[in-house]
Structures are given as structure tokens and as C-alpha cells.
């Protein structure tokens, strides 16, 4: 058994699953830049192979289900420190039992992936609720987000439908990349602070008006910070206009 080191891509992870079946069983699957060698066992540097990745991708879709393929991909997008091995165990079990794996809620292998999927789904919903766009110069809509999990792809369809006629950028600050979209089409690209469009003058005025409204509409005697935090987790406040002073 070996630790498999891969490049962090979904295709790389699928390649590792292929090697698990046809080369040697994996004792661990770890992103290459995060690996710390030990004296207890060896490792294999797995190069991403598109053909092997496609073979595993199609096998999951056909032998388990399209639903489970999506579930596995969502788990891959998470920050769970052991996501690779949890995905491997789920895939191995799925190849044995087929599509009924998604109904085996009491099994710990299934529960692991369900738990990750739930966290991803909750964060996706929060992004849909809490994102606040600003109008930048050139009438480009822009927002910064800092999600725990990598959810840009999961929110793309919603915002493309909502802003089909408006160009927009959703910037994942922590991952230095952005969802860039216009006319219902989108892509994800590397994106840093120097790429951020300049704020329009109208936007600066609207921000001031909104803050004034927010301050004046509040009933100070009935302010309930605990309740506010329950409905709007503090970690999202940083990018809210009304909280940004």
C-alpha cells in the first residue's frame, strides 16, 4: 500500500482511483504540495492521466449513478482534510452495490460523504442569500466572497440566470480566482486584487445611502446581536455594504 500524491485536480483524483484498482492499493491520497513524508511507508507520485480519469468518470456514472457522480464532485470541492480517501471508499463501495449506495444512510462510508455534501449545500445556499454585488466602472457587477469550500461552480448557474444581461464577477478572494460571466455564459479564471475593476461613482453614493438607511431604520432599543449572528454568520459580514465602514 502506498500514499498517492496528486496535483489537486478532480482528474488527478480520478486517476488515483484508477491506480488503486490497477496498480497498488492507496493507503492515502494527498495533494502533492501538502505531503509530508514519513518513515512508515512509501509513496507514488501519480501524474494526471486524462484517459484513466475519463474511464473512472464514466464507470461511476454507469455503474453507480449520475447523482453519485455529482455527489462525489461536490465532496471534491470541499475543504474536508480527508476528502480524497472518503471519496475513494465511497466509489469502491458504489462499484460493489451500484446506485442503491445513496440510500444506505446508516453506513459510515456513505455518512461521511453525506456530511460533506450537506456542508457544501449549506454554504452554496448562503452564497445565494448573502452575496452583495457592487456596480463597477463599465457597468460590471462585482462581489468578493470568502467561502470555506470551493463553491464558485455550484453558484454559477443561479447567477447566470439572474443576471443574464449583465456582466458580473464573483471573486473568491482566498483562492485567488473568480467566476466571470456574461450573457448566460461563464468561466472560472485566476483573479487577484489588481484585476478588480474600479468602483463607479454611483456605486459609492448608493453605498452611502444604503448605510444611512440601514442605520436609521434600525430600532436601537431592540437590537439583538445574537439573533443577527444566527441569521447572518459573522464571517460573511466583511463583504456586506451595511457592515463595511
SS3 71: helix
With a cut of 80, say whether residue 238 has pLDDT above it: no
Do residues 146 and 239 lie in contact, with contact meaning Cβ atoms separated by under 8 Å?
Answer: yes
Alpha carbon distance 21, 164 (integer Å): 44
Q: Report pLDDT digits (tens) over 116-138.
A: 999 999 999 999 988 889 999 99
* Per-residue pLDDT band at 207 (split at 50, 70, 90): confident
Alpha carbon distance 143, 132 (integer Å): 6
Residues in the chain: 245
With a cut of 80, say whether residue 4 has pLDDT above it: yes
Mean pLDDT, rounded, for 143-163: 95
Alpha carbon distance 153, 187 (integer Å): 9
SS3 61: helix
Lowest mean pLDDT among 47-51, 154-158, 238-242: 238-242
Alpha carbon distance 157, 137 (integer Å): 24
* Per-residue pLDDT band at 212 (split at 50, 70, 90): confident
Q: Distance between alpha carbon 213 and the CA centroid of its chain, in Å?
A: 33
Q: Using a pLDDT cut of 70, give the percent of the chain over it.
A: 87
Alpha carbon distance 179, 141 (integer Å): 12
How many Cα atoms occupy the beta-carbon half-sphere of 201 within 13 Å?
0
Rounded mean pLDDT of the chain? 90
Q: Where are the beta strands (DSSP E) in 106-215?
A: 134-136, 140-145, 168-172, 177-182, 185-190
Residues 6+ apart with CB under 8 A from 13: 6, 29, 76, 84, 87
With a cut of 90, say whether residue 226 has pLDDT above it: no
Mean pLDDT, rounded, for 185-212: 86
Amino acid at each position: 500500500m502506498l500514499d498517492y500524491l496528486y496535483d489537486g485536480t478532480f482528474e488527478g483524483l480520478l486517476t488515483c482511483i484508477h491506480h488503486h484498482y490497477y496498480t497498488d492499493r492507496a493507503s492515502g491520497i494527498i495533494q502533492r504540495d501538502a505531503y509530508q513524508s514519513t518513515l512508515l511507508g512509501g509513496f507514488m507520485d501519480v501524474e494526471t492521466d486524462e484517459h484513466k480519469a475519463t474511464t473512472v468518470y464514466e464507470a461511476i456514472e454507469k455503474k453507480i449513478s449520475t447523482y453519485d457522480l455529482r455527489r462525489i464532485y461536490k465532496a471534491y470541492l470541499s475543504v474536508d482534510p480527508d476528502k480524497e480517501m472518503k471519496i475513494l471508499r465511497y466509489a469502491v463501495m458504489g462499484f460493489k452495490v451500484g446506485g442503491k449506495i445513496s440510500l444506505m444512510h446508516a453506513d459510515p462510508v456513505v455518512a461521511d460523504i453525506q456530511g460533506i455534501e450537506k456542508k457544501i449545500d449549506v454554504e452554496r445556499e448562503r452564497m445565494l442569500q448573502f452575496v452583495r454585488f457592487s456596480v463597477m466602472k463599465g457597468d460590471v457587477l462585482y462581489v468578493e466572497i470568502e467561502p470555506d469550500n470551493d463553491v464558485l461552480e455550484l453558484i454559477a448557474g443561479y447567477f447566470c440566470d439572474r443576471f443574464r444581461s449583465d456582466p458580473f464577477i464573483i471573486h473568491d478572494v482566498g483562492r485567488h480566482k473568480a467566476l466571470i460571466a456574461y450573457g448566460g455564459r461563464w468561466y472560472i479564471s485566476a483573479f487577484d486584487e489588481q484585476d478588480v475593476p474600479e468602483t463607479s461613482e454611483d456605486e459609492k453614493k448608493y453605498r452611502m445611502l444604503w448605510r444611512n438607511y440601514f442605520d436609521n431604520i434600525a430600532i436601537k432599543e431592540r437590537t439583538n446581536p445574537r439573533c443577527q449572528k444566527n441569521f447572518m454568520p459573522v464571517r460573511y459580514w466583511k463583504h456586506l455594504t451595511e457592515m463595511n465602514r
